[in-house]
Structure 1
Amino acid sequence: MPQWWKIRRELKRLGNHLLEWPADTTNFLFGTFYYDRFLAHKKTILSGLQDTTDKRAVYLIFPKNGLQPGHFRTLDYLASKGFAVTVVSNLPLNPGQKVAVLPKCHMYIERPNYGYDFGGYRDGILSMRNDVAAIKQLVLLNDSVWFPVSSKTDWLADVDDLGVEFAGAVSNYGIPRVDPDHFRELSFDYRTDHKNFHYCSFALSLGQKIVQDPKFIEFWASFPLTNKKKRTVRRGEIGLTAWILRRGYSHAETLGVHRLAECLGKLSDPELRDVARHVIVLDDSRLKKAKANVILSIDKLSRTDLVNFVLMVAARQGTAYALAYYSVLFLGFPFLKKSPLWLDQDAAKISSLLLGALSEPAADEALMEANDLQLSK
């Protein structure tokens, strides 16, 4: 018998695409022109106090509640690694905050909030277009995460150890997706050839060969800006990763998603159950139901079932979200996404729990901000 909920979902999706097609087409064709012609002149560009180096970073911020200690911690980390930072803000800072940020950066760009993080990355990168010959490494970061939230690992040192031209903190769509009710059928086979495979844009590192590729600046100059988030993900995260793969550059990610099945399999029984209980699920009623069922019978499930359940959630939700508890507490992953604090009550509890368990100054700062985020929402 057909699964009618799937048919209804696909019909609804098709209807939405048809309704949005005229606006999406216009936006795709003219979004970048609109920004460059009518919005870009509203940017504020200030020189910071950092000297330039051959290692550059673009740090995109959306400081809705003003600059936080976590912003300065990220900037201090980048400075300690020898990076000259271009801070790009999608919201205006007050004069006092601008004074505070300028000693921490090489350049400050305040721009109209158009194009999400890739719009900000674009302005930051294009501001360096005359310097690319001198750049050996370019890092892209945004403040959708707390970083570094753990001192157990050093992300940029891990990037260097990978020895690749393009590195991310984590990837998506490398793990095969299965229906939540059929997680036992998951066969782990990490691949990078899925049409939606991408490295997440909150932390990316690009090597000298990429930055100095003549097509690199062209990619950003012609990048199709839009104020629709899903389109930005497709054109940005997925589009940039696809561009990297097409041009044959080496690539990898520091979390080691391709080793997740192996790593989860090495956990003790209590640890594995602990990880399964604390996977994060956002805005997916069927996935929430599957998690509830697993928790009810967790002591009866085999280790293989538990590993497959955790992998299924990671595949469907994104590893950076779903496995925050495991990756931060067990692996020392230095990134923690902020949005679960206001998107889901259970996810907020898990995020706050792991921050409290870290017992580090960075985590204490993040926990204070997390409490404010929960209250504000």
Structure 2
Amino acid sequence: MAINRGRVPPGNPGIVKKAALKLFQNVFPRQFSDLYLSRFHKISHGSVPASKKVAIYLIFPKTGVLPTHLHSLRYMIENGYAPLVVANLPLLPEDLLVLQPYAWQVLERPNFGYDFGGYRAAILQIEKMLPTLDRLVLLNDSAWFPLAGKMNWLVEAEALGKDFVGAMESGFIKSRGIVEDYETRKWEADRSRKKFHYGSYALSIGPNLLRATDFLKWWEKLRISQGRHRTIRRGEHGLSQWVIQHGFSHGTTTEMSDLGSVIAAIDVSTLQRAVESLAFLTVPNLAETLYRHTSPAGLANLSRQQLERFLLFAIGQGGAAMTAPRFLIEQKNHTFLKKKIFRPNVRETAALIALINDLGDPMGPDMLAERGLTSAVSQTADKAV
């Protein structure tokens, strides 16, 4: 079965209509989605009963529904959530049959608008239910979760008692600086920055927000886009800043304001392992530049202060979730592991594979088996986080 990725209008339009639709898509993307693409949405019912808690789970099953998808769905169900699975690809019949025992509803839609396009479609699908829900979570398959033995994120997010909770906060470094200055740069958290936001791969939303009519209006008016940076700015940054500016309570289950003191408290061997496992995909050439400006003999000859500054600067440049997975998992009890950092030809891959092996997670073999597929598995969701 040929799979339409949504980069061209679905429905096999003729040449003239296709050109008109492409123009419509580029000039009026929200209206294009609502008036045209919505015709190709398909809703199927699953076996999981409705609940006062709903988990919207966005997947991009280019290589089919995977064991780790089902692992995440079981986790949602065990914690009382009814999964609304959003597939940004048409599902094969056999994949739908696999999903239905683990879903309340399955929404198939064209791949348009990255993760926020999928979230928006699902929220509009259940908009009449929003005021009646106790909790709504937004999750996507850009990360493996939950990791065995780590925090129960769904429970801990609820326990914070806040209106809006993320698994990770980002954009909070006040001054990032240049690589050459990493040893002397002062690390400082500043949540007043315009780019401060919560990662869209895991968001938990409480009843105060769900009952606010302006919250639904924000989603209705969201100008979704096929542009990655526009999606990040309007969606990920935009939603967090809207919540903050409208006075809703917010927080994260992985607090990073104590980052400096946590790093200072760990022993040197643990610090070296954290640095060895760093990934720098979001910042071109950062790894090479950092290694070039440290001791040529390698990490073993770096002082403790250099290692600490190395780790702090890298996190400030690339974000903790994408840069320091071992540190987050081992020191902050983080239960998500981003897939994109395992893409082929990344110099840190060996250390990251060792991280999966060290976790001793029952899902480890499946995670390793999927490693070569991650650019396809999370193609849509991962580009916007």
Q: Tell me, yes or no, whether TM beats 0.5.
A: yes
One-letter identity of the residue aligned with 1:86: L
CA drift of 1:314 comes to 0.8
Corresponding position of 2:361? 360
Instruction: Label 1:373 to 1:166 Cα distance change in 2 as closer, same or farther (>3 A).
Output: closer
How do 1:1-377 and structure 2 match up within 5 A? 30-176=28-174, 177-282=176-281, 283-294=283-294, 296=297, 298-342=299-343, 344-373=345-374
Instruction: Label 1:228 to 1:182 Cα distance change in 2 as closer, same or farther (>3 A).
Output: same
- Contact 1:149-1:366 at 8 Å conserved across structures: no
Instruction: Label 1:195 to 1:45 Cα distance change in 2 as closer, same or farther (>3 A).
Output: same
Instruction: Label 1:132 to 1:34 Cα distance change in 2 as closer, same or farther (>3 A).
Output: same
- Contact 2:274-2:327 at 8 Å conserved across structures: yes
Instruction: Label 1:314 to 1:343 Cα distance change in 2 as closer, same or farther (>3 A).
Output: farther
Identity score, percent: 30
Provide the aligned C-alpha RMSD in A: 2.2
Instruction: Label 1:38 to 1:93 Cα distance change in 2 as closer, same or farther (>3 A).
Output: same
Which region of structure 1 is more displaced relative to structure 2, 205-214 or 305-314?
305-314
CA distance in structure 2 between the partners assigned to 1:252 and 1:288 by the alignment:
34
CA distance in structure 2 between the partners assigned to 1:266 and 1:26 by the alignment:
55
- Contact 1:276-1:310 at 8 Å conserved across structures: yes
Q: What per-residue deviation string (whole Å, max 9, x for no partner) do you get for residues 174-205 of structure 1?
A: 12312111112222221211111111100000
Q: What per-residue deviation string (whole Å, max 9, x for no partner) do you get for residues 257-301 of structure 1?
A: 112111111101121122122211125224422135436353454
Secondary structure of the 2:223 match is coil
Corresponding position of 1:5? none
Instruction: Label 1:347 to 1:236 Cα distance change in 2 as closer, same or farther (>3 A).
Output: farther
CA distance in structure 2 between the partners assigned to 1:106 and 1:126 by the alignment:
16
Could you tell me which runs of 5 or more consecutive residues in structure 1 were left unpaired when the two chains were aligned: 1-24
Instruction: Label 1:375 to 1:56 Cα distance change in 2 as closer, same or farther (>3 A).
Output: closer
- TM-score (ref. length: structure 1): 0.88
Task: Please identify which structure carries the higher helix content.
Answer: 1
One-letter identity of the residue aligned with 2:168: V
CA distance in structure 2 between the partners assigned to 1:95 and 1:27 by the alignment:
29
CA drift of 1:334 comes to 1.2
Corresponding position of 2:9? none
Corresponding position of 2:383? none
Instruction: Label 1:98 to 1:109 Cα distance change in 2 as closer, same or farther (>3 A).
Output: same
One-letter identity of the residue aligned with 1:185: T
Q: What per-residue deviation string (whole Å, max 9, x for no partner) do you get for residues 304-353 of structure 1?
A: 33222211111111110111122124443211111122264223323211
CA drift of 1:229 comes to 1.1
Secondary structure of the 2:136 match is strand
- Contact 1:29-1:224 at 8 Å conserved across structures: no
Which region of structure 1 is more displaced relative to structure 2, 366-375 or 328-337?
366-375
CA drift of 1:26 comes to 8.3
Secondary structure of the 2:137 match is strand
CA distance in structure 2 between the partners assigned to 1:27 and 1:97 by the alignment:
29
- Contact 1:150-1:333 at 8 Å conserved across structures: no
CA drift of 1:81 comes to 0.5
Which region of structure 1 is more displaced relative to structure 2, 284-293 or 69-78?
284-293
- Contact 1:329-1:358 at 8 Å conserved across structures: no
CA drift of 1:246 comes to 0.7
- TM-score (ref. length: structure 2): 0.86
- Contact 2:277-2:355 at 8 Å conserved across structures: no
Which region of structure 1 is more displaced relative to structure 2, 111-120 or 50-59?
50-59
Instruction: Label 1:68 to 1:375 Cα distance change in 2 as closer, same or farther (>3 A).
Output: closer
Corresponding position of 1:17? none
One-letter identity of the residue aligned with 1:159: A
Instruction: Label 1:292 to 1:326 Cα distance change in 2 as closer, same or farther (>3 A).
Output: farther
CA distance in structure 2 between the partners assigned to 1:31 and 1:86 by the alignment:
24
CA distance in structure 1 between the partners assigned to 2:45 and 2:242 by the alignment:
32
